[in-house]
Amino acid sequence: MSPRRVEVHPGKEAIVRFDPDTTFECVDSCSWCCEHGVLLYEPDVHALADRASLAESTTMVRGHTFVARTPKDRDEHVAPDGHACYYLDDDGRCTLHADHDWKPTRCSVFPLEVSHNDGELVIDVRDDAHTNCEGLGVSDRRLVDHLDAFLPPALWELDDPSTRIEL
């Protein structure tokens, strides 16, 4: 698939590498991407601090701040180890989004992956989304037509917006 340049927000372009016919719609019964800890970019740390307790909901891993995974007393909406994102409730909803109409940048980005090449954002579908995200291919909503919903403008302001990090 030939990469192509797309204007995502006015004046903010990205290189898209995935098949433009890829469709996506988040599925209510699925919560796979919320069963893992989520990295917070620095602006997200400040935004979260305005809305909730960082001490209760975040953890540091090798110099990076994450929303913590916590043990859940339930069988659904948890990873095999019984843990899920601190903010994921029993019904598989994000309480942070529900209560504050806000969620961290990387939660918006999923199921996409952002990498950084010569100062440009390069967008692909995450490898693990192909096997775990139930929302791919279930609707006629083409991802490439709605990139603005997945890629907040703040991504273009970050020194390193890559979503794949080595810990």
Residues at the contact surface with ligand SF4, assessed by CB under 6 A: 26-27, 30-34, 38, 67, 85, 87-88, 94, 96-97, 103-104, 107, 110-111, 133-135
What dihedral do alpha carbons 137, 140, 144, 145 form, nearest 10°?
-160
User: How far apart are alpha carbons 125 and 107 in whole angstroms?
Assistant: 14
Minimum separation from the CB atom of position 36 to ligand SF4 (A): 7
The values of phi and psi at residue 84, to 5°, are -160, 175
Minimum separation from the CB atom of position 79 to ligand SF4 (A): 12
Using the minimum distance from each CB to ligand SF4, give the nearer residue, 118 or 140.
140
Minimum separation from the CB atom of position 163 to ligand SF4 (A): 13
Which two tokens mark 137?
A: 């291919």
Using the minimum distance from each CB to ligand SF4, give the nearer residue, 132 or 162.
132
User: How far apart are alpha carbons 163 and 126 in whole angstroms?
Assistant: 9
Using the minimum distance from each CB to ligand SF4, give the nearer residue, 3 or 79.
79
Minimum separation from the CB atom of position 30 to ligand SF4 (A): 3
User: How far apart are alpha carbons 109 and 33 in whole angstroms?
Assistant: 11
Minimum separation from the CB atom of position 138 to ligand SF4 (A): 8
**Sheet of strand 58-61, all strands in order from the earlier edge strand to the far edge:** 38-39, 64-67, 58-61
CB atoms within 10 A of CB 60: 9
SS3 47: helix
Using the minimum distance from each CB to ligand SF4, give the nearer residue, 135 or 161.
135
Using the minimum distance from each CB to ligand SF4, give the nearer residue, 14 or 78.
78
